[in-house]
Structure formats: C-alpha cells, structure tokens
Amino acid sequence: MIAMNGRLIQDIGGGLYSVVFYVLFFWRVFKENPGNRVVECGVITLAVFFAMIPLTKLQDPPDWVFAPWLILVILLCFSTLFFVLQRAYRAIRRRKDA
C-alpha cells in the first residue's frame, strides 16, 4: 500500500471541495441566464481557467497540454469582451434612436 502524508490528502480534499463548489455555482449561473452570451461565455472562461490552476501546480506541465489550454482561455476572454462590447454598442444605438 502506498503511504500518503496528511498534507497531500488535505490538499486533494480541499481541491475536490473547491471543484464541486465552483461547478455547482457556475452551473446555477449558467442555467439562470439562458441566451445571455456574456454570462455564458464568461462562466465557461472562468471554469476553464479554474480547471487550469491545478495543472500549474505540477512540477513541469507538458507543453502540449498547457499551451492549447492557455490559448483557449485567451480566446474565451476575447470572445467575452466581444459580447460585452456588442451589448454596449447596441445599448448606445438604442439610446440614440429613442
């Protein structure tokens, strides 16, 4: 049997607790805002980012895993900003028309 120290078990338990909390929180936000692309894209961005945090705790994460994940987070951030700017543009345009 493999001997595990208490600190490692505590870290794993805390990590699992955090994952469950964030999954439930993000799922609730995602389902309460159907059709809201800013919220949907933002929640997906945060979920991918928080899933990336344990990967950075590894001693030497492989580049073939880390690089595409980082590119995905950056693309999701820019798409969220795009939807925010789109919403602002439409609000300004509606305000001028009224």
CB atoms within 10 A of CB 6: 7
Tell me the pLDDT of the chain (98 aa) as tens digits: 455 666 666 766 777 777 788 778 878 887 888 888 888 888 888 888 888 877 777 677 777 877 888 888 899 899 999 999 999 999 999 888 86
Cα–Cα distance for residue pair 45/67, rounded to 1 Å: 16
The structure tokens listed for 35 are 């059709």
Cα–Cα distance for residue pair 13/7, rounded to 1 Å: 10
pLDDT reported for residue 6: 66
pTM for the full model?
0.67
Distance from chain centroid for Cα 7: 27
